[in-house]
Amino acid sequence: MSILVTPATKILVQGITGSFGARHAQLSLDYGTKVVAGVTPGKGGQLFSHVVPIFDTVDQAVKETGATVSVIFVPPPFAADAILEGVDAGLDLVVAITEGIPVNDMVKVKQAMQGSKTRLIGPNCPGLVTPGTGQDSHGGCRIGIAPGYIHKKGNVGVVSRSGTLTYEAVWQLTTRGYGQSTCVGIGGDPVNGTSHLDVLKMFNDDPETEAIIMIGEIGGTAEEEAAAWAKEYCRKPIAAFIAGATAPPGRRMGHAGAIVSGGKGTAAAKIEAMRDAGIAVSPTPAEMAETLLQHWKG
Amino acid sequence: MNIHEYQARELFAKYAVATQPGGVAFTAEDAEAVAAKLGGRIVVKAQIHAGGRGKGTFKNGFKGGVHLCDTPAEAKDIAARMLGQVLVTHQTGPDGKEVAKVFVGEAVDITRELYFAILLDRATSAPIVIASTEGGVDIESVAEHTPEKILRLGVNPALGLMPYQTRQIATMLGLSGKLMNQAGKLFTNLYKLFIESDCSMVEINPLVVTGKGELLALDAKFGFDDNALYRQPEILAMRDKTEEDPREVAASEFSLNYIGLDGNIACLVNGAGLAMATMDIIQYAGGSPANFLDVGGGASKEQVFAAFQIILGDKNVKGILVNIFGGIMDCNIIATGIVEAAREIGLKIPLVVRLEGNNVEAGKKTLAESGLALITGENILDAAQKIVAEVKKAA
């Protein structure tokens, strides 16, 4: 097994006709992912790439195709509405790729999602990949914008706030012959749907995942919380990397969540929490896989 | 985005948040006129986006960015000594900031100084109010040494700040009778301002009780959610680009995410996390990063070109590290962009390029055959070590 999605999971794409959404929907199709529907209001009845039916609403798309997961590419002003449309349609999982959603909108979304069965990943995230068994991991479930071919089917779970750092970790694993169960990008915004801790718990319960790479960055305390939990409950070896040791306080480093303020959320504090929890901390982003392999295989 | 103190007061006026009367002045004569209209004792405050103004020093030797005056003529004189001068505070760095305007306000007879702030609590994904009886000082040290003097109160975003909560805060701050009513109004209006203006933070420090028994927001610091500026035209109009790093302003015009730092090794990276990690690894390898620069997921030729120009505009830069993981982007397109930019600009400092990902072999070939004196890094660590060594060699 994997976590959250399998190669059989049926995906719908909200914002499938925009240039960004269309490009990545096509790449997912090419990767062998079951993209079964698109949603663009006003374009219902058309086909995407000659095969994928487009609907006006998520509700219609779910009823017609049985999709259980949605990926959102709609622009920031409309993204909160799109997320809640997916929640209202009873989806298992909504993955919001959109970057630049106002924080107040996300506060409202989180409030509105309380008690719903839907899990949200993101926003401002690269999405997730459960690699397939074909060549270059073809036939997997690719949701979002990650390059599919860098993956390999295997037993390492990867969770990260950052896209390109995730790709680095995945590529380091793959080139050393180690595959991944699922790779999850939780996103760089201060208010998001799924935390490092949520994903760690899932990896811990997943029989296919044997070891974990956790990538964090400055800002907030989510990495510390995940480390504290792992110290008590995680049965699997974890390697971590924290970006932003050289970032000056008070400056937002690209991601809206990556900011050190009032002495909180520093890289040093996070690294100390990780070490205290028995997590192997990679000194540089070049050694994430190596650090895990030493910790795991000895 | 930050705003000036006088702009914060304009927002207060719009939301009926009580503050001291006053106005902004761009010339010494304006300052005199505002002071004459106010009457009585006057305070003149230099307007720059940095704290520590009161204890700052102007480059012309004049001390203090905040002064009390007894007459309009004195206010004019003080304003004349501030305007057009460069004020250096512990937050501006040694270069300081030029003062283009001053705030002229009624001097306030302060009997108590309190602290009140609203910000977003990431842990609960909801706004939180922080209040303290210890105002006018650094709240971080209050939190560290006397945490019992700080109240943290979560707000349910669906309900907003409830009247009973404003009374709880007022009670904790020792505001009773008429002051409790004033506090309720001030806190409620400030919460409305926080939400409606898409603030990430509003900090009133100090919130003061005057000799006349009034509760006033005396100084304010605002933070705004950059993601929401598209729907906040009034806030966006308050942006003062002269207060921002010109390199950052130029970068934003090309959708580049740039932050200038003090080091001498520039970096150009795709992705915010990888960009931060690249700064870290430069330091790990014994160097010092000159900037944070995320060219985003796309990294077009135009963006790479603009990024090089911005990087090279920093006179401290003695070497460049390009670190690209081309997951979906074709590495060869990126390599071509780098070569063209380096050639056109006539690069004279060491450049180390590390490319990985899609079509990387063709990209490396383009770099190798360019005839440019650029160096290839095998992985991020190798690339960082190479650029650090090159910069040390050249020094």
Q: How far apart are CA B328 and CA A272, in angstroms?
A: 35
- The pLDDT assigned to A68 comes to 98
**Is the Cβ–Cβ distance between B5 and B220 less than 8 Å?**
yes
CA separation, residue B273 to residues A241, A269, B278 (Å): 11, 18, 9
Is the model's pLDDT at B343 over the cut of 70? Answer: yes
Pick among 3.40.920.10, 3.40.190.10, 3.30.1490.20, 3.90.180.10: CATH of B21-106: 3.30.1490.20
For CATH 3.40.50.261, list the domain ranges present in chain B: 245-394
Closest by Cα among B316, B112, B71 to B213: B112
- The pLDDT assigned to B297 comes to 67
- The pLDDT assigned to B372 comes to 86
Closest residue, chain A, to B357 (C-alpha): A150
> Does B277 sit within 8 Å of A165, measured CB to CB?
yes
**Is the Cβ–Cβ distance between A171 and A150 less than 8 Å?**
yes
> Does B294 sit within 8 Å of A150, measured CB to CB?
no
> Does B280 sit within 8 Å of A244, measured CB to CB?
yes
> Touching check for A75 and chain B: CB below 8 Å?
no
Query: A245: which chain B residues are within 8 Å (Cβ-Cβ)?
Result: 280, 283
ipTM for this prediction: 0.92
> Does B274 sit within 8 Å of A283, measured CB to CB?
no
CA geometry: angle at A40 spanning A21 and A37, to 5°? 75
Confidence grade of residue A261 (pLDDT, cut at 50, 70, 90): confident
Is the model's pLDDT at B181 over the cut of 90? Answer: yes
Out of A165, A246, A262, closest to residue B273 by CB = A165
In A17-46, the residues whose Cβ lies within 8 Å of chain B are: 27
Packing angle, helices A163-175 and B272-284, rounded to 10: 70
Is the model's pLDDT at A262 over the cut of 80? Answer: no
Q: Per CATH, which fold does B110-236 belong to? A: D-amino Acid Aminotransferase; Chain A, domain 1 (3.30.470)
> Touching check for A134 and chain B: CB below 8 Å?
no
- The pLDDT assigned to A252 comes to 81
Is the model's pLDDT at A104 over the cut of 80? Answer: yes
Tell me what the mean pLDDT of segment B280-293 comes to.
95
- The pLDDT assigned to B54 comes to 87
For CATH 3.30.470.20, list the domain ranges present in chain B: 110-236
Tell me what the mean pLDDT of segment A73-101 comes to.
97
% of chain A residues with pLDDT over 90: 90
- Whether A138 is catalytic is no
Is the model's pLDDT at A42 over the cut of 70? Answer: yes
> Touching check for A254 and chain B: CB below 8 Å?
yes
In A217-246, the residues whose Cβ lies within 8 Å of chain B are: 217-218, 220-222, 241, 243-246
Q: Tell me, what DSSP letter sits at residue B255?
A: T
> Touching check for A80 and chain B: CB below 8 Å?
no
% of chain B residues with pLDDT over 90: 66
Query: B275: which chain A residues are within 8 Å (Cβ-Cβ)?
Result: 253-254
Confidence grade of residue B213 (pLDDT, cut at 50, 70, 90): very high
- The pLDDT assigned to B148 comes to 87
Out of A145, A251, A287, closest to residue B297 by CB = A145
Of the candidates A24, A138, A196, A255, the residue annotated as catalytic is: A255
Q: What is the pLDDT of residues A204-253, one digit of tens each?
A: 999 999 999 999 999 989 999 999 999 999 999 999 999 999 988 878 88
Is the model's pLDDT at A145 over the cut of 70? Answer: yes
**Is the Cβ–Cβ distance between B322 and B386 less than 8 Å?**
no
Q: Catalytic residue positions of B?
A: 115, 203
**Is the Cβ–Cβ distance between A201 and A229 less than 8 Å?**
yes
> Does B122 sit within 8 Å of A102, measured CB to CB?
no
Is the model's pLDDT at A122 over the cut of 70? Answer: yes
CA separation, residue A153 to residues A28, A31, A136, B22 (Å): 16, 13, 9, 67
Report the mean per-residue pLDDT for chain A: 95
Is the model's pLDDT at B238 over the cut of 70? Answer: yes
- The pLDDT assigned to B349 comes to 92
> Does A221 sit within 8 Å of B280, measured CB to CB?
no
> Touching check for A175 and chain B: CB below 8 Å?
no
Confidence grade of residue A67 (pLDDT, cut at 50, 70, 90): very high
Q: How far apart are CA B374 and CA B321, in angstroms?
A: 10
- The pLDDT assigned to B278 comes to 96
Distance from the Cα of A45 to chain B's closest Cα (Å) equals 30
| A159 or B295, greater pLDDT | A159
Strands A119-121 and B102-106: unpaired
Tell me what the mean pLDDT of segment B195-208 comes to.
94
Q: Letter for the amino acid at B353?
A: V
Tell me what the mean pLDDT of segment A36-59 comes to.
97
Q: Find which of A81, A168, A194 to mutate to test the B interface (most B CBs within 10 Å of its CB).
A: A168
> Touching check for A264 and chain B: CB below 8 Å?
no
Interface A:B, Cβ pairs < 8 A: 165
% of chain B residues with pLDDT over 70: 99
Tell me what the mean pLDDT of segment B328-346 comes to.
85
Rg of chain A on CA atoms, in Å = 18
Closest residue, chain B, to A151 (C-alpha): B327
CA geometry: angle at A146 spanning B278 and B303, to 5°? 55
Report the mean per-residue pLDDT for chain B: 91
Distance from the Cα of A284 to chain B's closest Cα (Å) equals 6
| B341 or B77, greater pLDDT | B77
Out of A220, A248, A258, closest to residue B272 by CB = A258
Range in A55-69, A167-181, B282-296, B338-352 with the lowest mean pLDDT: B338-352
Q: How far apart are CA A253 and CA A190, in angstroms?
A: 12
Out of A108, A160, A167, closest to residue B327 by CB = A167
Helix/strand number for chain B, H first, E second: 13, 19
% of chain A residues with pLDDT over 70: 99
For CATH 3.30.1490.20, list the domain ranges present in chain B: 21-106
CA separation, residue A42 to residues A15, A26, A38, A88, A252 (Å): 11, 21, 12, 19, 38
Domain B245-394: give its CATH code: 3.40.50.261
Tell me what the mean pLDDT of segment B133-156 comes to.
86
> Touching check for A277 and chain B: CB below 8 Å?
no
Is the model's pLDDT at B275 over the cut of 70? Answer: yes
Q: Find which of A183, A246, A281 to mutate to test the B interface (most B CBs within 10 Å of its CB).
A: A246
Output the pTM of the full model.
0.92
Is the model's pLDDT at A263 over the cut of 80? Answer: no
Q: How far apart are CA A223 and CA A274, in angstroms?
A: 8
Is the model's pLDDT at B225 over the cut of 80? Answer: yes
Q: Find which of B144, B276, B380 to mutate to test the A interface (most A CBs within 10 Å of its CB).
A: B276
- The pLDDT assigned to B298 comes to 65
> Does A107 sit within 8 Å of B277, measured CB to CB?
no
Confidence grade of residue B299 (pLDDT, cut at 50, 70, 90): low
